[in-house]
Amino acid sequence: MQQTKQQESHYSEYDNLAFHPWNVMLMLTLFAIVALFLATSIAFIYNRVQNDTGTLAIPWLFGFNTLILLGSSWTMWRAKKAYEGDNTSLYQRCLLATIFLSLLFLGMQFVAWSQLFAQNVFVNTNNSASYLYVLSGLHFAHVIAGLPFLILFLRAARLQMKEPVTVLVYFSDPEKRLKLRLLSIYWHFLDALWVFLVLFLLANYLIR
């Protein structure tokens, strides 16, 4: 009876997303990211109004990259659903697809910046160009920061999901369930943040 109560207490620790220390750390991280991008966006608007700088068209690849990130958000959601449904093969495929789409996004982002370089638009060209590079570069860095966790999840799944017993242990681990949930929140947040940045930069170009 006592052992059962201990197990229930252990599970409630991980199932209680609101008060778990890892969740608090993630929420603080997301709050800091929001504050960083919000402050940079406000500084962008202030500088444009004060200095009356020209506008800058964003590369069309930014729109294509939006579709890539939305795809990675969908595969991440599918991975979480596959985990909840104990679907080993789908879980691993979705994690791999999320990693591939994230790497594709990073590669296409380099191509998008190369398009700007080809047009002689550099960081120091004007304020609009500076903020475009800063905002997209900051988002780029946060995608890179999340990639190792995705790779570790896939690696752990491939190492541990080899026999029925190890698969059962993996899917019943509350710690992994919580970590996957937090990683999913982070990934969806990054995708939403990118959509905001693209719309913000587009609005800056259209509103003259």
pLDDT digit string (tens) for 117-167? 999 999 888 888 899 999 999 999 999 999 999 999 999 888 888 777 878
Helix, strand, coil % in the chain, rounded to nearest 5: 85, 0, 15
Structure tokens at 38: 């919000």
CA distance 128 to 126: 6
The domain limits of the chain are 2-206
CATH superfamily, region 2-206: Cytochrome c oxidase, subunit III, four-helix bundle (1.20.120.80)
Q: Categorize the per-residue pLDDT at 190 as very low, low, confident or very high, splitting at 50, 70 and 90.
A: very high
pLDDT digit string (tens) for 23-72? 889 999 999 999 999 999 999 988 888 877 667 888 999 999 999 999 99
Report the candidate in 178, 189, 151, 204 with the shortest Cα–Cα distance to residue 29.
Answer: 189
